[in-house]
Structure formats: structure tokens, C-alpha cells
Amino acid sequence: MVNSVEIKRKEEAQSRSEILIIIGRRIIANIVVLVLLTFAAIILISTLPSLKDSPIVIFRSLNDSNLTTVVVSLVNVVLPVLFRWIAIFEKWTNPQWETTWTLGRYVDTKLFIFTSLVWFKYHKFFHHFLLKYVLN
């Protein structure tokens, strides 16, 4: 187990170029996370039974009520593994921060999936509600 004294010593021993490389890795990692979440949302939205003309051709023939459940399950299995690889790529010096960021990404995934499904399932209702009650 790594103690806090060793972590402080490693952080203080880093040069300016190493710090810039770490910042660059974290920027790239966060962009990759956003791309993965966006891709997952597009796939989830494409599987909704309410969308008859799915932009993804393979989902047009498979579009039934269980497909969305299967895709959500696959996203919940695949994305955490990819997030773990991203955390390894970032090379955190503090294991606590690595765990915190990885856990935050898991939570963001769950919220993003939920929001995407609710918004696109009921987008007509939200649009009507905004026009009638909020914008009047």
C-alpha cells in the first residue's frame, strides 16, 4: 500500500515537462470519455422502440422492446472496462484520486444513460411542456 508521504515525494519530484505531459494525458482522457458517452447515447437512442427509422441500419430490423435493455446492459459492462484503461493511461500518482475519477465516470455513465433514455423517450412531452408552461 502506498502511503501519503511516498505520494507527496513522487509529486514533488516531477519536472515541469512531466507535469505538462500528465495534464495533456488527462485532457485527452476526458475528451475520450466524452466521445464514449456520446457514442453510447447515440446507440441507446437508436434502439428506442419509438424510433421507427433508426439511424443505425442493424437496429431497424432488431427494434423490439428488449433491445434497449440489452444495449444498456452492454454499455454498463463495456464502459467501466474502458474507463479503467483510461485511468491506467492517465498514470495517476495517487490511487485515491484514480479511484475517485474512475468512480465519477461510472456515475456519469449511469446519469448520462438515464437522461438520454428519459429525454428521447419523452422529448415530445418536454417540448410541449416548455412551449406551454415555461415559454408563455
Rounded to whole angstroms, the Cα distance separating 106 from 11 reads: 26
Return the domain boundaries, the chain: 14-134
pTM equals: 0.67
Closest to 41 measured CA to CA, from 104, 121, 116: 116
| Lowest mean pLDDT, pick from 25-29, 66-70, 93-97, 130-134 | 130-134
Q: What is the predicted pLDDT for the residue at 57? A: 54
Task: Mention every residue, 6+ apart, whose C-beta is less than 8 A from residue 28.
Answer: 89
Question: Residues in the chain, how many?
Answer: 136
First-to-last alpha carbon distance for the chain, in angstroms, is 60
Q: What does the pLDDT read at residue 45?
A: 75
- Kindly tell me if the per-residue pLDDT of 54 is higher than 60: no
Predicted local confidence at residue 53, as pLDDT:
56
